[in-house]
């Protein structure tokens, strides 16, 4: 066994339950590092960051114009230029020049003379940016369904109208606290402590901004603790990468020698790209913190075998039927997946299959919740497994192959044997067999997969 195989064995074949707390922490960090390196190496995050660079450059001035119009009504529009200057500070003197030019464009933009078509194009470019950001975050959070059109409109409108007001209000509070801390730093006893707080204030501000984005943008429920973990990591990366960029990139004369007048534009595009990459990496950290079950397999999206799919379908249906039988409200898909310690994407896919086959019924309440479609005593286990086993089977099989008749006979014999074994057994029997307070066992995949279900 070479070093790579030994490392893989230590990462994926170790049971965290057999380790002490520091060992579990180290194993979790090692798996997280592997997952982040794998996601970055696949190129998907880079492609989405590059796409966001183009959309950002296209919609930057319209976005600032809309924000400027909203903020002007609250009398805090003068905070726009310092914020933009701070965001472009790693570009050095070029950042101040770009900031001044952008603010000049925003000042010259008069919404009243644009006309209906011009105003429509302005809003379209801004909404396109928000939609691109949501798509990138949905990819990170394994969300396959976008928001409904009506909900998308109200959500984007709230981002455009309420977001700038909240953000700049927080920025004003932060600036006031920074001034107060600077005055208190003159004290001899507590001066160093307040000076440290003044230095950490920008890091705390950018981290809180990232946390707001992580909670609000993805089309899924993000726990505040996970969002803060990802935001703190992304904020630290922002400060480190910003310092390195200002030192080695913006301060270099080679770009000016090669690209001449276009050098500052090239540096701006690189910095925007790095900024989006940092934001997406922080979102990945938040996702893995909230869904540690995705760190139990070396693949980004674990694949279940046919036997594991059947086992998970039984667990999902039994859990849903048990809650329904005891008068408990149905769990949303994410909560149900956490209870069973399985990836949410796999649970959602099987719930959709069982719903499509008439085994489960989706409720009208908000969220992805299900109840049994009929009395559990009438849901035969053979029919339930057959629904998962055959999905998405179609009638067409193509040209017959040699021995087709013998293969069909064998498959029919296997189906008959299973039907005979499960004859007379229903979902109600599994519900009755559940032990009170029985803990859920994780569904192992990949290298952790046991030899038996």
| Short-list 444, 429, 240, 195, CA closest to 321 | 429
Nearest-angstrom CA–CA distance, 102 and 160: 19
Q: Does domain 306-392+407-448 have CATH number 1.20.1250.20?
A: no
Contact 283, 228 (CB under 8 A): no
**49 close to 276: Cβ distance less than 8 angstroms:** yes
CA 216 to chain centre: 11
What are 324's strand-pairing partners?
none
Question: Residue ranges per domain, the chain?
Answer: 32-295, 306-392+407-448
Half-sphere exposure of 78 (CA within 13 A, CB side): 2
- Residue ranges for the chain with pLDDT beneath 50: 437-453
pLDDT score at 277: 93
pLDDT of residue 319: 92
Question: Within a 10 A sphere around the Cβ of 419, how many other Cβ atoms?
Answer: 15
pLDDT for 233: 94
For 335, counting Cβ atoms within 10 Å of its Cβ (0-12 exposed, 13-18 middle, 19+ buried), the class is middle
- The pTM (predicted TM-score) of the whole model is 0.75
pLDDT at 61: 73
Instruction: Map residue 109 onto helix, strand or coil.
Output: coil
Radius of gyration for the chain, computed over Cα atoms and rounded to the nearest angstrom:
28
Nearest to 347 by CA among 135, 142, 147: 142
Which residues, at least 6 apart from 391, have a Cβ–Cβ distance to it below 8 Å? 353, 356, 357
Residue 436's pLDDT is 54
pLDDT value at residue 423: 87
């Amino acid at each position: 066994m070479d070093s790579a195989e030994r490392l893989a064995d230590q990462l994926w074949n170790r049971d965290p339950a057999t380790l002490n707390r520091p060992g579990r922490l180290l194993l979790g960090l090692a798996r997280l590092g592997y997952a982040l390196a794998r996601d970055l190496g696949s190129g998907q995050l880079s492609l989405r960051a590059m796409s966001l660079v183009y959309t950002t450059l296209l919609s930057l001035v319209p976005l600032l114009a809309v924000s400027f119009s909203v903020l002007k009504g609250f009398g805090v529009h003068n905070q726009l230029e310092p914020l933009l200057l701070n965001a472009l500070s790693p570009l050095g003197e070029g950042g101040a020049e770009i900031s001044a030019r952008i603010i000049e464009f925003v000042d010259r933009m008069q919404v009243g003379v644009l006309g209906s078509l011009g105003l429509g194009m302005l809003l379209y470019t801004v909404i396109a940016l928000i939609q691109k950001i949501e798509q990138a975050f949905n990819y990170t959070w394994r969300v396959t369904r976008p928001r409904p059109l009506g909900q998308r409109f109200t959500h984007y409108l709230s981002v455009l109208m309420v977001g700038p007001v909240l953000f700049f209000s927080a920025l004003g509070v932060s600036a006031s606290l920074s001034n107060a801390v600077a005055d208190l730093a003159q004290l001899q006893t507590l001066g160093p402590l307040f000076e440290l707080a003044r230095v950490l204030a920008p890091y705390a501000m950018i981290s809180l901004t990232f946390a707001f984005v992580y909670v609000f943008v993805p089309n899924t429920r993000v726990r505040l603790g996970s969002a803060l973990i990802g935001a703190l990591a992304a904020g630290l990366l922002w400060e480190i990468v910003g310092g390195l960029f200002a030192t080695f990139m913006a301060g270099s004369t080679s770009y000016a020698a090669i690209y001449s007048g276009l050098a500052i534009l090239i540096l701006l595009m690189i910095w925007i790209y790095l900024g989006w990459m940092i934001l997406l990496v922080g979102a990945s950290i938040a996702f893995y913190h909230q869904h540690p079950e995705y760190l139990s397999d070396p693949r980004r999206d674990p694949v279940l075998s046919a036997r594991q799919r059947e086992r998970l379908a039984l667990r999902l249906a039994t859990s849903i039927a048990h809650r329904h039988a005891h008068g408990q409200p149905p769990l949303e898909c994410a909560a149900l997946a956490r209870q069973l310690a399985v990836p949410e994407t796999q649970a959602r896919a099987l719930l959709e299959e069982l719903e499509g086959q008439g085994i489960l019924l989706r409720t009208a309440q908000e969220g992805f919740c299900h109840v049994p479609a009929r009395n559990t005593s009438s849901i035969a286990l053979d029919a339930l497994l057959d629904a998962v086993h055959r999905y998405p089977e179609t009638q067409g099989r193509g040209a017959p192959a040699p021995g087709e008749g013998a293969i069909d006979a064998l498959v029919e014999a296997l189906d008959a044997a299973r039907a005979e074994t499960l004859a007379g057994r229903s979902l109600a029997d599994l519900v009755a067999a559940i032990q009170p307070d029985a803990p859920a066992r994780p569904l192992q995949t990949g290298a952790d997969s046991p030899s038996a279900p």
